[in-house]
C-alpha cells in the first residue's frame, strides 16, 4: 500500500460513513508500525451547532474517535491484513490528555503508532496535533471481531 491513502480507499477499509467518518486522508504509512492521518475541521461539521454556539470547539471524544479511525486503518491495512469479514472496535482508552481546543479551520494531524498486539487485540499510542502543537494524546485499545 502507498504512503498516501485517499478518502475513497479509507471508505473501503473501515465502515464509518458521514457524518461519522473523521479521517480525510492518510499521509504516511509504515506497515505494522505507524500511520499519520488528516482531519480537516470545518464549520460544516454537525456537532458545531451545539458544541458550543458562538464558540465552536471539536468535542474531545471526537478527537479520540478520529485517532481510533486512523488506528483502524493502520490495523486493517497491516496487522490484520484487511480482513473484510471483521471489524475493529474501540475497547478502551488510557492516558488521555487534551491540551488545546480544536476549532473550525484547524487541520488535525493524527499520528498513531502500534505499541503491541495479541491475537485479536491491538494497543496503539496516538497524538493529535494542530500546527505542530499537540492538542490531544491517548493510548487506545481495540479488538478485532467478526462483522
Name the catalytic one among 16, 29, 51, 86: 51
Domain that holds residue 99: 7-146
Number of domains observed in the structure of the chain = 1
Structure confidence at residue 80 (pLDDT): 82
Structure confidence at residue 1 (pLDDT): 44
Whole-model pTM: value is 0.95
Structure confidence at residue 85 (pLDDT): 83
Structure confidence at residue 2 (pLDDT): 54
Cα–Cα nearest to 75, from 39, 20, 110, 35:
35
Which residues in the chain come in under a pLDDT of 50? 1
Cα distances from 56 to residues 35, 39, 53, 63, in angstroms, run 28, 16, 6, 14
57 found inside a domain: yes
Catalytic site residue 51? yes
2 found inside a domain: no
* CATH code (residue 86): 3.10.129.10
Residue 120 phi/psi, 5-degree rounding, is: -120, 20
Amino acid at each position: 500500500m502507498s504512503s498516501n491513502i485517499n478518502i475513497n480507499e479509507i471508505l473501503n477499509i473501515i465502515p464509518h460513513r458521514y457524518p461519522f467518518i473523521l479521517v480525510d486522508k492518510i499521509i504516511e504509512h509504515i506497515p505494522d508500525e505507524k500511520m499519520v492521518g488528516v482531519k480537516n475541521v470545518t464549520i460544516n461539521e454537525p456537532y458545531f451547532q451545539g458544541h458550543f454556539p458562538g464558540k465552536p470547539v471539536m468535542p474531545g471524544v471526537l478527537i479520540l474517535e478520529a485517532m481510533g479511525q486512523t488506528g483502524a486503518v493502520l490495523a486493517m491495512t497491516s496487522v490484520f491484513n484487511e480482513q473484510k469479514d471483521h471489524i475493529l472496535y474501540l475497547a478502551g482508552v488510557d492516558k488521555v490528555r487534551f491540551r488545546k481546543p480544536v476549532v473550525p479551520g484547524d487541520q488535525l494531524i493524527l499520528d498513531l503508532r502500534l505499541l503491541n498486539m495479541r491475537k485479536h487485540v491491538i494497543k496503539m499510542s496516538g497524538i493529535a496535533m494542530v500546527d505542530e502543537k499537540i492538542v490531544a494524546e491517548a493510548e487506545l485499545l481495540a479488538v478485532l471481531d467478526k462483522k
